[in-house]
Amino acid sequence: MTLKRLQTDILILGSGGAGLFAALHAHKANPALHIIVAVKGLLGKCGCTRMVQGGYNVALAPGDSAERHFMDTIEGGGWLNDQDLAWTLVTQAQVRIRELENELGCFFDRNPDGTVHQKAFAGQTFDRTVHKGDLTGIEIVNRLAEQVWARRISRLEEHRAVDLIKTADGSALAGVLMIDMRTGGFVFVQAKAVLLGTGGGPTMYKYHTPSGDKSCDGMAMALRAGLPLRDMEMVQFHPTGLLAGPDTRMTGTVLEEGLRGSGGWLLDKDGSRFMAEYDKRGERATRDIVSRSVFDVIRKGRGTPLGGVYLQMGHLGPDRVRKEFKGMVERCADCGFDLAAGRVEVVPTAHYMMGGVAVRQDCSTELAGLFAAGEDTGGVHGANRLGGNGVANSTVFGGIAGDAMAEWVSREGTWREPDEKSLAVAETRARAPLDKPTGPLESVREGLYDGMWEDVGIVRDTESLDRGDATLQDLDHRLDGMGVVTSDLAFNLTWHDWLNLKNLILVSRCITAAARAREDSRGAHFRADFPQASDLATSRYTTARLAGEELRVTMEPVAFTRVRPGESLIRDAAE
């Protein structure tokens, strides 16, 4: 099949909050630009932003401030954050939330006096999470998608990005090789600027919250292109993933943090609350602390019949729970559980990746022409993301990226000729399983789930990380020897499963390498053999690059550009 070639001014990979906001901002900055949004599924119907239940953190209410939001973000991030990115997040969130409502048509829940209602989320000193019930992501993505359609921005649906293709001298990005999933044919999209907005999605773990189409494609492409990824050891586990049983994908589906923020209890198998044993904030401690606490309770034999703990909401009043958490109540009911009046079994579930591609303030990367935003990037959240900061991150930096790409195209953008040899190599790599005998992909997937959960999960140590690395090397070798049925490449989901696993294993190797390099415990990263945090004043973050087949990790000093450990912007602002 002949390689199809397209041209566009701006190519956006991903249609979550980052991708759609980037498209809208780039179009607004220069309506003459040709923009394509490419997505593995259907625009507005896939990705993680749509799945957001909790809400959007922003300092709006009297008594709150950007400085206070910033300090919560930095302290929650274990002082590893890029402080300039974090400051941009908290200040621009105030702009973006008004843009969402006043320009794009979102409508969030209100107080009786008409002000925006903001609920409590763990790890924060103020109730600042704006929401639409517990279906906030659907509200945001629906409105963004409508606006993209209204502007007739082009889209390539059911197209998956395979590799970033550079120029012959490697100095800039020429475009992206893609697969049209509807035909199985390859497409090269030549673009003056490209946004990496595919999202992360730690679906390499046994229990995970993102949809199955999330396979860290953007991070894997960035690694293969030689780009640096920072903070990759920092994988967030949400404490309350629905534990519906071993034979259903509903297991791992997140039950949002607002449940605990509103006063929900976590109970062991005997019905006893246990979080006070681990943190004075109880169930409202940060996600990393609650996840480790639940994990410890389970390992001590205090777990429930399915191997988790109980979440109880009924003591708050079933009618109140049904009203405030309609989506969660219905989701649990679909699985046979009564969240409003009974107890639901939950387990920590891999939820979000704080690490990702290193970016500048304008979302540009070290590869000319490539920009990145959202969960594909690292630095904003540091060692741990506060619940509610995720969708704010995507929309804030998606908008910034759109503005920056429009400006870049007008100033420096040009269509650059791709390195045809690299293009052929990328296509050959993607076609690799088509020329081999079929094999048991499910055994590789289960091996990945178990290996990452047991050895590179909530609690790690040198021995477990060594085991995890060996497991990943073996799985990668086994996968390379397996092929798929090739009678029809149109919607050949087994082929795409193979490609997903290839990307997941590479990114899992990066997580493992970064976790081995960090010999202390910080945020979401807990080393049982190094259980204490190192000196905050000399904090360092990890940077990983792929050199050939080897992942090389270095430790870089955190730049305390706005506040140092022991200081507070809140106090400075008051003075």
Q: 477 an active-site residue?
A: no
3-state secondary structure 160-217: EEEEEEECCCCCEEEEEEEEECCCCEEEEEEEEEEEECCCCCCCCCCCECCCCCCCCH
**CB burial of residue 356 (10 Å; 0-12, 13-18, 19+):** buried
Looking at residues 453-466, what average pLDDT do you find?
97
- Confidence tier at 513 by pLDDT (50, 70, 90): very high
CB 242 within 8 A of CB 332: yes
Output the CA angle 95-98-103, nearest 5 degrees: 115
Question: Among 69, 260, 351, 518, which one carries the catalytic annotation?
Answer: 260
Residue 7 sits at φ, ψ, to 5 deg, of: -130, 145
In a domain, residue 419? The reply is no
Q: Mark whether 433 and 329 lie in a shared domain.
A: no
Domain contains 506: yes
Q: How far is it, in rounded angstroms, from Cα 389 to Cα 394?
A: 9
Cβ pair 400, 373 in contact under 8 A: yes
Instruction: Supply the angle between the helices 217-224 and 493-517 in degrees, to the nearest 10.
Output: 70
- Those residues whose C-beta lies under 8 Å from the C-beta of residue 331, and which sit 6 or more positions away, are 242, 253, 255
Domain boundary among 300, 329, 350: 350
Q: Is 381 a catalytic residue?
A: no
Q: What is the pTM of this model?
A: 0.95
Among the listed residues 473, 558, 556, 457, the one whose alpha carbon sits nearest the alpha carbon of residue 515 = 457
Is the predicted pLDDT of residue 230 greater than 50, yes or no? yes
User: pLDDT class for 486, splitting at 50, 70, 90?
Assistant: confident
| Rounded Cα gap, residues 204 and 201, in angstroms | 8
Of the two residues 254 and 301, the one the predictor is more confident about is: 301
* 3-state SS string for 324-349: HCHHHHHHHHHCCCCCCCCEEEEEEE
Element (H, E) at 57: strand 56-57
| Active-site residue (options: 238, 284, 287, 522) | 238
CA separation for the pair 441, 407 (Å, rounded): 44
H-helix segments, 30-82: 66-76
Of the residues 350, 383, 398, the one at which a domain ends? 350
Classify residue 263: in a domain, yes or no. yes
Measured in Å, how far apart are the chain's first and last C-alpha atoms? 68
121: pLDDT confidence band, cut at 50, 70 and 90?
confident
Q: What is the arithmetic mean of pLDDT over 219-225? A: 98
> Do the domain assignments include residue 258?
yes
505 pLDDT exceeds 80?
Answer: yes
Last residue of a domain, one of 350, 378, 396: 350
Write the pLDDT tens digit of every residue in 146-190: 999 999 999 999 999 999 999 999 999 999 999 999 999 999 999
Same domain, 346 and 241: yes
pLDDT at 285: 86
Judge whether 168 lies within some domain: no
Count of domains in the chain? 2
Q: What is the pLDDT of residues 34-68, one digit of tens each?
A: 999 999 999 888 877 777 777 899 999 999 999 99
Is residue 421 classed exposed, middle or buried when 0-12, 13-18 and 19+ CB atoms within 10 A define those classes? Answer: exposed
Sign, CA dihedral 553-557-562-567, equals positive
Q: Which amino acid is at 148?
A: V
The confidence score (pLDDT) of residue 435 equals 85
Q: What are phi and psi of 57, to 5 degrees?
A: -80, 130
Residue 442 lies in a domain: yes
Q: Please report, for the domain that includes residue 293, its CATH number.
A: 3.90.700.10
Given a contact cutoff of 8 angstroms between Cβ atoms, the answer to whether 226 and 545 are in contact is: yes
**What's the domain range around 268?**
237-350
Percent of the chain with pLDDT over 90: 84
Helices (H), 77-118: 83-102
Residue 298 lies in a domain: yes
Q: Which tokens go with 390? A: 């995720």
Query: What DSSP element (H or E) covers 487?
Result: none
Q: How many angstroms separate the CA atoms of 123 and 103, rounded? A: 31
Predicted local distance difference test score (pLDDT) of residue 487: 85
Structure tokens, 362: 């304008």
Residue 10 maps to a domain: no
Q: What is the DSSP string of 455-468?
A: HSSSSB-HHHHHHH
